[in-house]
Amino acid sequence: MEVVRRLPQKFPFSAIVGQETLKLSLLLNAVDPRVGGVLIRGEKGTAKSTAVRALLAVLPQMDVVEGCQYGCDPGDPAQWCDDCRDRRDEGPLPKIRAVPRMVDLPVSATEDRLVGTLDFQAAIREGERSFHPGLLAAANRGILYVDEVNLLDDHLVDTLLDAAAMGVNVVEREGVSLAHPARFILVGTMNPEEGDIRPQLLDRFGLCVGVEAMREPEARVEIVLRRHAFEEDPSAFARQWADAEDELKNRIRDARLRLPGVRLGEGILYAIADLSIRAAVDGHRADSVMARAAAALAALENRPEATLSDVERVAPLVLAHRLRRTPFSEVRSDTDTLRTALMDALSSGAGRSQEQEGSTAAGPGLGQASIFESLGSASSSSEDPADVCINVESDLDRTRRSIAGRRQTSVSDDGRGRYSRSEVPKGDVTMADVAFDATIRAAASRASDSKTLGDMALSVQPEDLRTKVRTRKVGASIVFCVDASGSMGSDKRIDAAKAAVLDLLVDAYQKRDRVALVSFRGNKAEVVLAPTASVELANVRLRNLPTGGATPLAAGIVSSLDILQSELRRQPDTVAWLVLVTDGRGNVGLDGGSGSEDARIAATRVRMANVHTIVIDTASGPTGGTAAREIARMAGGEYVRLSALDGAELGRVVRSRI
Ligand SMILES: [Zn+2]
């Protein structure tokens, strides 16, 4: 009987339809991991993880030092681990062929698992200090893949990006002190709807691409056909693409060999500097990434020198997520900024490089049209230039949104949350707080120093005690403040708000969110639903909501603000959100004051109270917009017009922001 054990066949990289920007970003990193990785932003069901897994299959085989637990490159002594350096004196190191690995970093990983740790079994048994390598070691010379990187604890992301940038993992803890090579292709994916990544961390990914579903019918049909052929017979499909895959593998291998010789002229470097200055990016990282990416692109296309056209093609991948944004800045289109900067810098850079290096450096495709194309291609579907990975708002009816209010993790001191690292205790310690693994390692790290062990390899002393640091996601408190007055469309507004509240409550408990609803009509505001995480309760409270009467907008805002301030007192790290569903035209003031004036004053108070505001404008027709926009501006918030005033759309808008 024949037993065939097939490895699961991966979908070939060459067979992926479209997504050219995504593929280019991955290939540039395959040629030179120092480009700094790729952050792939896109909704579920796009080719994100398929493409990353497929990339692994086209990475060339490599020589590794036999017996080295980090897979050092025999041909690159400068990058060797301590172990390989020590063995050097014994003669040439034995080498073997190996295929690169892909390491999945789970969102639940601890710091120990990532960076490696003292091997405490060895410490207990033999009293020896030895290092147990972590995932950074396993990923050396391969791919480190983090799905949903936005959900990873911040300090882990920091550690990860440090190692990626340096190509080295430095371990200084628990009596272990070593450094080992950790040069890997870092790929993070995230669904922006699930919460964003901090701007400081965003900047540390070399490249960033936005991926969305293809819109061209032909491409969609092709995707389905290839997917079916693959599922029908994976091996036959792989054979069909084998030549293309081999060719790509050779291209990457040759490009890596060619890369050190690729010339980066001074004109190119000036054009890059100019571009970064005009795009007003912070720091110098963008320049360095752009230079490396341009060189990698030239190497990939078998050219001896990086040209302005290379810069033009990589610039959107490097710059789009680095444009400086301020929370309350004037309406300004990032796309326009980038576009203008590209045109100016490339034209002046082209001039300079032509003067200094002759016309060869200028390369083809420097016309305005190609610049627009390359900007558009930051989004892989090439559909909408505005949809680069920073979600540039193309709709002029929206003011820039604040990025400071995003859901974050915080250190938890109430015993809840996930054990993410350990520390020396800061006070009384309960059993539940003891981090046994770290405590034993601390004891083990002293083991060989100790003279008092007797027969035991390990003795735990009070100073070895370590406690758990727990982190958890911070919840949001969201108050919907809805105009229920007799003005046009009030039933629609109320229905949309009700549906959005229920939608947000579906997973509110898990996210630690609380949602409330305030309605205002006649001469007062009413707290219809106090902050809650319960769908059942909301269902009961929201059943019958009366509408009609005048519009006491100011009272609605003040009442909502009271709720949010008491939420902030209850849980100071809560992120407070006010969702104001109104046309902005209040006609009843507080205590008989002017309606519109009181509403603006109330909005200013919201701004001072560290509350994030979204104003959903329900005014219709050409005259609509002014009043609600003014309220948004006074509150320092975002102004949004919905394409359709219904619960699904409203829920989506709010969800995508908190
Ligand atoms: Zn080594």
- Give me the phi and psi of 531, to 5 degrees please: -50, 130
Give which of 564, 558, 626 is closest to 588, Cα–Cα: 558
Instruction: Give domain status of residue 144, yes or no.
Output: no
Cβ atoms of residues 482 and 645 within 8 Å? no
519-581-572 Cα angle (round to 5): 75
Query: Using one digit for the tens of pLDDT, what is the confidence trace for 296-320?
Result: 999 999 999 998 889 988 988 998 7
| Count of C-beta atoms within a 10 Å radius of residue 657 | 23
Separation between Cα atoms, residue 535 and residue 530, nearest integer Å: 12
Taking the C-alpha atoms of residue 34 and residue 37, their distance in angstroms, rounded to an integer, is 8
pLDDT at 358 > cutoff 80: no
Tell me what pLDDT residue 329 has. 32
* Residue 255 Cα to ligand 1 middle (Å): 24
How far does residue 80's CA lie from ligand 1's centre (Å)? Answer: 5
CA angle at 208 for the pair 203 and 209, rounded to the nearest 5°: 160
Q: Looking at residues 309-336, what average pLDDT do you find?
A: 66
Please, which pLDDT band fits residue 457 given cuts at 50, 70 and 90? low
Q: pLDDT class for 48, splitting at 50, 70, 90? A: confident
pLDDT value of position 135: 94
Q: How confident is the model at residue 77 (pLDDT cuts 50, 70, 90)?
A: confident
Backbone angles phi, psi at 522, to 5 degrees: 65, -115
DSSP 3-state of 302: coil
The answer for residues whose C-beta is within 8 angstroms of residue 463's C-beta and 6 or more apart is: 442
602 within domain boundaries: yes
Report in angstroms the alpha-carbon separations of 577 from 234, 515, 657: 49, 9, 10
Angstrom distance (rounded) from CA 632 to CA 581: 11
Tokens matching residue 220: 């969609």
**At which of 420, 454, 472 does a domain end?**
472
Average pLDDT over residues 90-117: 88
Asked if residue 501 belongs to a domain, the reply is: yes
In the chain, % of residues over pLDDT 90: 23
Other CB atoms within 10 A of residue 465 CB: 18
pLDDT band at 12 (very low <50, low <70, confident <90, very high): very high
Could you tell me the distance, in angstroms and rounded to a whole number, from the CA of residue 418 to the centre of ligand 1? 34
CA of 23 to the centre of ligand 1 (A): 31
Res 372 pLDDT > 70: no
How far apart are the C-alpha atoms of 232 and 225, rounded to whole Å?
10
What CATH number is associated with residue 642?
Answer: 3.40.50.410
Same-domain pairing of 512 and 649: yes
| pLDDT of amino acid 277 | 84
Cβ-based neighbours of 592, under 8 Å, separated by 6 or more: none
Question: 77 CA to middle of ligand 1, Å?
Answer: 9
Same domain, yes or no, for 576 and 633?
yes
**Beta strand spans in 413-523 (E):** 418-423, 467-473, 476-483, 514-521
What is the distance in A from the centroid of ligand 1 to the CA of 70?
Answer: 5
60 Cα to the center of ligand 1, angstroms: 20
pLDDT value, residue 63: 92
Classify residue 434 by its DSSP letter.
B
pLDDT at 396: 26
Output the DSSP codes for 159-179.
HHHHHHHHTEEEEEETTEEEE
Distance 176 CA to ligand 1 centre (A): 17
Active site residues: 285
Query: Over 70: is that where the pLDDT of 473 sits?
Result: no
Question: Domain total for the chain?
Answer: 2
Tell me how far apart the alpha carbons of residues 190 and 373 are, in angstroms, rounded to a whole number: 25
**What's the CA-to-centroid distance between 86 and ligand 1, angstroms?**
9
φ, ψ of residue 156 in degrees (nearest 5): -70, -40
Q: Is the pLDDT of residue 341 over 90?
A: no
Closest to 646 measured CA to CA, from 506, 491, 456, 518: 491
For residue 586, being part of any structural domain is answered with: yes
More confident residue, 19 or 54: 54
pLDDT tens, residue by residue, 484-532: 888 777 788 888 888 888 888 887 776 778 899 999 988 889 999 988 8
Residue 460 belongs to domain spanning:
411-472
Confidence of residue 2 (pLDDT cuts 50, 70, 90): very low
| pLDDT given at position 416 | 58
Q: Read off the pLDDT of residues 573-632 as tens digits, 9 standing for 90 and up.
A: 788 999 999 888 877 777 766 777 888 888 988 988 889 999 988 887 655 678 888 899
Cβ neighbors of 40 (< 8 A, separation 6 or more) are: 22, 25, 48, 51, 52, 187, 188, 189, 190, 208, 209, 211
Q: Which residue has the tokens 């610049």?
A: 371
What pLDDT does 120 receive? Answer: 67
Q: Are residues 463 and 592 in the same domain?
A: no
Please check whether residues 421 and 551 belong to one and the same domain: no
Same domain, 423 and 441: yes
Higher pLDDT, 185 or 455: 185
Nearest in space to 377 (alpha carbons), one of 363, 365, 360: 365
Closest alpha carbon to 481 in 635, 648, 592: 635
Say whether both 463 and 501 belong to one domain: no
Res 391: pLDDT: 28
Q: Is residue 508 located within the same domain as residue 437? A: no
Q: Provide the token pair at 118.
A: 């003292």
User: What is the model's pLDDT at position 381?
Assistant: 35
Average of per-residue pLDDT values in the chain: 78
Q: Are residues 446 and 530 in the same domain?
A: no
Mean pLDDT over 620-649 rounds to 81
Out of 472, 490, 522, a domain closes at: 472
Q: How confident is the model at residue 139 (pLDDT cuts 50, 70, 90)?
A: very high
User: Could you tell me the distance, in angstroms and rounded to a whole number, from the CA of residue 288 to the centre of ligand 1?
Assistant: 28
Q: Model confidence at 343, in pLDDT bands (50, 70, 90)? A: low
Residue 357 has pLDDT above 50, yes or no: no
Asked if residue 537 and residue 452 are part of one domain, the reply reads no
Percentages helix, strand, coil for the chain (3-state, rounded to 5) are: 45, 15, 35
If DSSP codes are grouped into helix, strand and coil, which group holds residue 574?
coil
Q: Is residue 486 part of a domain?
A: yes
User: Rounded CA gap, 254 and 300, in Å?
Assistant: 8
Structure tokens at 575: 């992120």
Residues 483 and 631 in one domain: yes
Residue 420 dihedral angles phi and psi, to the nearest 5°: -115, -25
Cα–Cα dist 255/28, whole Å: 10
The answer to whether residues 418 and 513 belong to one domain is no
Is residue 524 domain-resident? yes
Which pLDDT score, from 0 to 100, does residue 110 have?
Answer: 84
Three-state SS letters, 443-472: HHHHHCCCCCCCCCCCCCCHHHCCEEEEEE
Read off φ and ψ for residue 203, nearest 5 degrees: -60, -25
Residue 521, domain member (yes or no): yes
Residue 641 is predicted with a pLDDT of 84
* CA–CA distance, 314 with 291 (Å, rounded to integer): 9
Whole-angstrom distance between the N-terminal and C-terminal Cα of the chain?
Answer: 59
> Where among 472, 501, 525 does a domain terminate?
472
Tell me which of 10-24, 186-200, 294-308 is least confident: 186-200
**In the prediction, which pLDDT does 347 show?**
63
Inside any domain, residue 573: yes
Q: Give the residue-averaged pLDDT of 73-81.
A: 87
- 550 and 523 together in one domain: yes
- Of 113-122, 237-246, 566-575, where does mean pLDDT reach its minimum? 113-122
Say whether pLDDT at 207 is over 90: yes
Residues 6+ apart with CB under 8 A from 86: none
pLDDT for the residue 572: 76
Distance from residue 340's CA to the centre of ligand 1 (Å)? 48
Asked if 26 contacts 33 with a C-beta cutoff of 8 angstroms, the reply is no
**Tens digit of pLDDT for each residue in 542-584?**
888 888 888 889 999 999 999 999 888 877 778 899 999 988 8
